[in-house]
Structure formats: C-alpha cells, structure tokens
Amino acid sequence: MNLRELWNYRDLLRMLVERNIKVIYKQTALGITWVALQPLIAATVLAIIAGRVAKLPSDGTPHFLFVFCGLTIWNYFSQIAQRSSTSLINNTQLISKVYFPRMLIPLSHTFSTLVDFAVMLVMLFIFMVIYRITPTLRLVAIPGFLFLTAMTATGVALWFSALSVKYRDTNYALPLFLQIWMWASAIIYPTSMIDSSRWQTIFALNPVVGFVEGFRWCVLGHSALTPNMLWITIGMSILLLLSGAFFFRRVERDFADII
Amino acid sequence: MSEIALSVQNLSKSFRIAHQGLRGYKTLHDELATLPRRLAQRLAGNGRSTSETFWALKNVSFDVKTGEVLGIIGSNGAGKSTLLKILNRITEPTIGGVDIYGRVGALLEVGTGFHPELTGRENIFLNGAILGMTRAEIKRKFDEIVAFAEVERFLDTPVKRYSSGMYVRLAFAVAAHLDPEILLIDEVLAVGDAEFQKKCLDKMEDVAANEGRTVIFVSHDMDAICHLCSRCILLSHGEIAKTGNAADVVGAYLGGEQDQSPEIDFAPIESEASFQFAGLYNPKGQASSSFSADEPLLLKSSFAVRRQIEGLQLSFSVFNFKGDRIFYSTISMAKPVISVEAAGEYNIAAVIPGRLLLPGRYSISLALHTPKTKLYDLRKQALSFRIVGTIGDRYDGFASDELGQIYADVKWSRSDQPDRQSSLHGNVSMLASASR
C-alpha cells in the first residue's frame, strides 16, 4: 500500500472532490435541491410503508423521524458505493492517458458525498426540532460513526469499482445488491425487533447495522447497539476496507489495458 | 551532466488478442458459460486456441541521460505509444523494468481530464492537478497559462461552450507549463492552427533548451525530431531497429534501410478471388523498390478469379510513411475498359507516373473487391518502395512538410503584357496541351 504516494497526490484528490461536487447537479433546474428532495420523498414513502402498512416498531420514535435518521446514514453509504462503482469507467480517458494513483477516483466520492450527507444532517436536525426530540451529548459521537461508515463504504467502493473495470455486470448488479442490502439492514425497522441477542450479534456481521444503530443512538438517544455489535462492526469495516484496497491494488496495474 | 535520468531494461509488453471475443472485457456470465470449455482446453494443454499473444514491445533497452532530448520514431504500430505509456506508468510491462530518477510529466494527449461542465478556470486547476502539479504551482503559473492560451475572456465559461481551437489551446497551455524533470511528449504538435503550432514548437524548444530537463519526444514529424533531438531511437515492430544521432536515424528511417523485396508471391487464401503475385518495376523493366522522382513506376499484379463475379474490381492505394493515403486507383478507371469479372487468371499492370510522388517512403495496398459490398482479398502494405532524389533539386531549402503531399507538375509561364485578357489567351495552348 502506497500511502505516501496518495498523500503526495492530495491536491489532485482535492480537485477531484471539487469536480464531483460542482458537476453532479449541473444543468438541472432544481440543482442542489435534489439532495434534499430525494431523501425527503424516499423517507415519506418508507415511513408510510413501515408505520401504516407493515406496522413495524420504531423504538418509540415517530416513524418518519426514525426512517429519516436511518436513511441519512444509509444514503451516505449507498451513494458512495453507487457513484464510485462507475467512477473508473467514467474516467476511462484519464486512466488510459495519465498516471496517478487510480484509487483517488473512487476515494474522491467518499469525500464529495459528505456534501449530500451534510444537507441531510441539517434536515434531520430540523425534523428533531419539529418532533421535539431533545438532543443529547451523544451527538458528539456522530463523526466516529460517520468515519466507520466512510471506511465501510470505501471498502465496498474499491471492490466494486475495481471489478467494474473488467466486468460491466457490476453496473446492473450493484443497484439491486444495494436495494437488498438496505432491506437487510435496520433502516426502516429497529434491530430490537430481533429478540435473541445472539441473533443480533450475528445480524451485526452486516456492518451497516452497526453504524445505522450507532448513528440512531447518537441522534435519537436510544438503540439496540451493544458493545459486542460495535466491535464486530468495526472489525468488519476494517476488513472490508483492507480487502478492498488490497484487491484494488492487485488489479490496478491492468486497468489501462482492459478498461 | 552524464547522470542517468531514465533506464529501460529488457522491456517487453504483450497483449492478448482474442479471436472470437471481439471485446477485451467480458461479462461474468461469459466467463461462467465458457468455464467448462476453457478448463477442458487448459487440461488438454491448448488453452491458447482462442487467443493469440501479440508482442507490442520486444526486449527494448536504452538509457537516457539527464538533459538529453531523445526522439522516438517508427511507423504506426511500431510500439512508440506503448513505450511512452510504460514510461509514464499508465500500463505495466510484461517483462523487464524501467528505472526513473525524477518527476515524470507527460503530454500524451492534450485535454485529458477536462470536464466539459467546468469553466476554463476550474479546468486549469483540475487538469494541472491531474498532470501532477500542486495547487500552489498552478496558482503561480495561472496568469502565464491563461495568457498563453489566449482565453482570458472565456475563463468563466464552461469549456463545453469553447470552440475546438480554444479547447486545444487551453489544454496545451496547461500541459506546457508542467515543470517535470523528465517530460514525455507524444505528437501534441498536430493541434491548433499554424500560428499556434509555431508557438507550441517554440515553447517546446524552450523546454528542451532548459538545462537539466530530460525530454522524450515521439513524433512523425521528422523535421521536429531532427530539430529538437540530440539522439533518436527507431522502433520497428516493437524492437529497436536503430539508435544514434537524430539525423542518421531519421535518414535511415526515411531511406528505408530494411527495404522489402520488390516482388512478392502471395500465399493462397480461401476466396473466390485472390492475389498470387505483385511486383514493382522501373522503366527498364527491372524489379526495384527504389525509384527516382522523375521516373514512372510499374505495378504488376497477378490474381485468380474462380467464378464469375459481377462488378469485381482490382484497386490499389499508395500510403506515405505516416500511413496517410496519398491516392487510390481502381481498374474501373481504365480506358479502354478492362474487365476482371469473368473467371480466370489475370495479369494486370498499372503505371504510376513520374513527378507525382515526393521523395520519401511509401507502401502499396492491393485489393480485390466489389465496391461497397464485398472484399475478396486485401493485402495491406503488400509492397513498399521509396522515391529518391529531389526532382531536379528544385525544392532545395524547403522543409519536407512544407512541400505538401504530392509533387504537382505545375506549368509556369511569364507574359510581357499586363492585360489580363490577352495573357489568358497567350496560355490557352499550354492549357490545351496539359489537358491532353
């Protein structure tokens, strides 16, 4: 792993991040409003399904707020995965003409997607005021869980972006995969629905569960997150990140030839 | 000053050419579907039956000293671009390695990394960063870059609204202000209008003259190579064919030291019409691959047509050393008409007139085809030849790229009368004789 080289190219990373942010909603009438509009609509629909149709529990929090809170952190995760999985192919011209650490391209999305996250976080705080949820000191732990999310997402992003260079299948498989992943993670239902703690621990092998529950713990003040689950989540995200980085490095040398 | 800036050892690069897959990338489904067959093939020991290994570079070794300007020349497909890509670390060699001592910057193609939605200003920073400049460096050179590109008024316009000229100027300007210790340049001069090309060339000379700067320059422009490079490498089919003083190597390349035989017997192919033989002859009837600029050139070919083919034509094209098609001719232009439609064996000759081709290296491709419907036999670069001499030394003092593509046998005259009407009349007989 060539961390030193990545560091030397930090200016390029910064420019790529800036580019991602500037470009994403260019030539759309609503512009940055989309960042707010998309999750708002999604959360409304999901809250109705969870609360009215499926009558799922929400640990005593209003359903909309509960779902919006989960989506805030889930969207950060899934958008990184989605945007970076096509990022290498979208930059074919760059990869076949110029040398730079290729990892910067997927990595740049981990940073630029923070803008979307920030917008949702502000909206979340507004909804907390509306629903009269008193914030606690636990809010201070948000960056920690955000970091965990970023690590996991980057790991997934590295795996899928590297695979996409050789197999364009990822373009079709990933959205489907992410959809299933979302339902399998405690986004619109709480982990507390699972009553045995042993099964909860196994459930936590899905690292998304850990940071979603952790994020809820920070914002809503309660969650089923146990220290055991947290350790598993940390372990899983480190594993994903390292394996992703390793795999990426291994196939990166052939990118220019096969892309 | 004799430090090594770059050392290339036993460099080889192979590509696999798929014979059936067409596309280099596969879907997972394809891999799974063909897995049993490929496993069986691998076990049987003939796993290569569906692909062929192509060596783009074979055993290339050379050193470049600090401050040296090295030219790399060779015909299309000789491996020049692959070599630059390896030096620039875009792709990795299959065998061998490269030691690089210093920061490498490359001008492989201008405008890579420009984002159409971003403004000129934003793209300067983005492109600069992609090429390896730090933000502080770009800031320092920003005004210089903008002035060089002459785009001051459009700095805050998205580059997708730029004219192609502006786009290219901006792209070159960013790249030209790179400050690496080792600079790789690939044919960037073929951009922009004449005035801007001159500016680019001056800038490159400036860069090359800069002490301590190592430059590797790949080009088809032999004048630029001779002008800028102290040493030159000639690549041919992935191998170093010659290395040495730039003028010598360029001379060897243009003169074609490795001339092909002027006569060639073709291996038969399975087609309803196919070539058997082709050859080039001088006016004395001798087979030759070297002709004086003044003399005509005789192209003979033999081919077999195995059944009646409606509309079958024999045609050939002449290409210059860059691979540009100079002209095309087909038997349907023949007067009186020569038909090759009936089954049988044909011997056809074509005369390429003297005073048509400029001195240099050329190749001929031959084809048997029915226009726009079917190609029966195509022999790419079947023959090669060179034209020597300078057509009565009339072109002395001109650089070769100022001469154009062909020698035009223009008739000149002088008249004593200023009156337009009569001077035209005076030349009528000349026009008449020329059109005959």
Q: Which of A27, A72, A255 is nearest to A162 (CA)?
A: A255
In a domain, B26, yes or no: no
Whether B330 shows a pLDDT value over 60: the answer reads yes
Tell me, yes or no, if B126 comes closer than 8 A to chain A by beta carbon. Answer: yes
Bridge-based pairing of strands B374-388 and B360-370 is antiparallel
pLDDT at B201: 72
Whether B340 shows a pLDDT value over 60: the answer reads yes
B90 and B238 fall within a common domain: yes
pLDDT at B113: 72
In a domain, B246, yes or no: yes
Domain boundary among B346, B361, B388: B388
Residue A80 pLDDT level (bands cut at 50, 70, 90): very high
Q: Which residues of A touch B16 (CB under 8 A)?
A: none
Q: Which residues of B touch A168 (CB under 8 A)?
A: 25, 27
Domain boundary among B192, B223, B255: B255
Average pLDDT, chain B: 80
**Long-range pairs, B195-200, Cβ under 8 A, ≥24:** B196/B165, B196/B168, B196/B169, B196/B172, B199/B148, B200/B172, B200/B176
In a domain, B421, yes or no: no
Residue B245 sits in a domain whose CATH number is 3.40.50.300
B170 and B229 fall within a common domain: yes
B251 and B313 fall within a common domain: no
B145 and B227 fall within a common domain: yes
B115–A15: do the CB atoms touch at under 8 Å? no
In a domain, B410, yes or no: no
CB distance B12 to B77 below 8 Å: no
Cα A85 to Cα A79: distance, rounded to the nearest angstrom: 10
Residue B237 pLDDT level (bands cut at 50, 70, 90): confident
What is the ipTM, given to two decimal places? 0.76
Cα B308 to Cα B376: distance, rounded to the nearest angstrom: 13
Minimum distance, in Å, between the CA of residue B90 and any CA atom of chain A: 5
B90 and B217 fall within a common domain: yes
B309 and B359 fall within a common domain: yes
Q: Which of A15, A93, A256 sits opposite B85 (nearest CB)?
A: A256
B242 and B348 fall within a common domain: no
- End-to-end Cα separation, chain A, in angstroms: 22
B331 and B201 fall within a common domain: no
pLDDT digits (tens, 9 = 90+) for A164-188: 988 888 888 999 999 999 988 888 8
In a domain, B217, yes or no: yes
Summarize the confidence of residues B371-384 as an average pLDDT: 84
Whether B293 shows a pLDDT value over 90: the answer reads no
Residue B314 sits in a domain whose CATH number is 2.70.50.60
Tell me, yes or no, if A18 comes closer than 8 A to chain B by beta carbon. Answer: yes
B169 and B312 fall within a common domain: no
Q: Which among B90, B94, B125 is the top mutation candidate for probing chain A, defined by the most A β-carbons within 10 Å of its own β-carbon?
A: B90
In a domain, B87, yes or no: yes
As a three-state string, the secondary structure of B188-215 is: CCCCCCHHHHHHHHHHHHHHHHCCCCEE
Domain boundary among B255, B272, B305: B255
Sheet holding B313-320, edge to edge: B290-292, B374-388, B360-370, B313-320, B325-330
Whether A75 shows a pLDDT value over 90: the answer reads yes
Task: Choose the weakest-confidence range: A10-19, A31-40, A208-217.
Answer: A31-40
Give the distance, in angstroms, between the CA of residue B426 and the centroid of all CA atoms in the same chain.
45
Whether B212 shows a pLDDT value over 80: the answer reads no
Tell me, yes or no, if A15 comes closer than 8 A to chain B by beta carbon. Answer: yes
Based on the structure, what is the number of domains in chain B?
Answer: 2
Whether B1 shows a pLDDT value over 50: the answer reads no
More confident residue, B298 or B89: B298
User: Which two structure tokens, joined as six digits, stand for A195?
Assistant: 């009553």
Cα A141 to Cα A36: distance, rounded to the nearest angstrom: 24
Residue B43 pLDDT level (bands cut at 50, 70, 90): low
Task: Choose the weakest-confidence range: B89-93, B393-397, B431-435.
Answer: B393-397
Task: Choose the weakest-confidence range: A46-60, A235-249, B388-402.
Answer: B388-402
Q: Token match 């390292």: residue?
A: A242
pLDDT at B47: 45
Task: Choose the weakest-confidence range: B22-31, B113-122, B362-371.
Answer: B22-31
pLDDT at B21: 42
pLDDT at B2: 60
Count CB-CB contacts under 10 A for residue A10: 13
pLDDT at B187: 67
Residue B119 CB contacts under 8 Å (≥ 6 apart), including other chains: B155, B156, B157, B158, B159
More confident residue, A244 or B81: A244
Where in the sequence is the domain holding B328, given as residue range(s)? 263-388
pLDDT at B435: 55
Whether omega before B336 lies within 30 degrees of 0, making that bond cis, reads yes
CA distances B301 to A258, B291, B348, B361, B391, Å, are 41, 18, 5, 21, 28
Using only C-alpha atoms, chain B has a radius of gyration, in whole angstroms, of 27
Count CB-CB contacts under 10 A for residue B189: 20
pLDDT at B362: 86
B281 and B352 fall within a common domain: yes
B233 and B322 fall within a common domain: no
B80 and B175 fall within a common domain: yes
User: Which two structure tokens, joined as six digits, stand for B418?
Assistant: 């200023």
B91–A258: do the CB atoms touch at under 8 Å? no
In a domain, B355, yes or no: yes
pLDDT at B431: 60
A168–B25: do the CB atoms touch at under 8 Å? yes
User: Which two structure tokens, joined as six digits, stand for A126?
Assistant: 């507004």
pLDDT at B23: 44
Residue B256 pLDDT level (bands cut at 50, 70, 90): low
Q: Which among A97, A166, A172 is the top mutation candidate for probing chain B, defined by the most B β-carbons within 10 Å of its own β-carbon?
A: A97
In a domain, B406, yes or no: no
Tell me, yes or no, if B130 comes closer than 8 A to chain A by beta carbon. Answer: yes
pLDDT at B427: 59
Residue numbers of B between 66 and 95 with CB closer than 8 Å to A: 85, 88-92
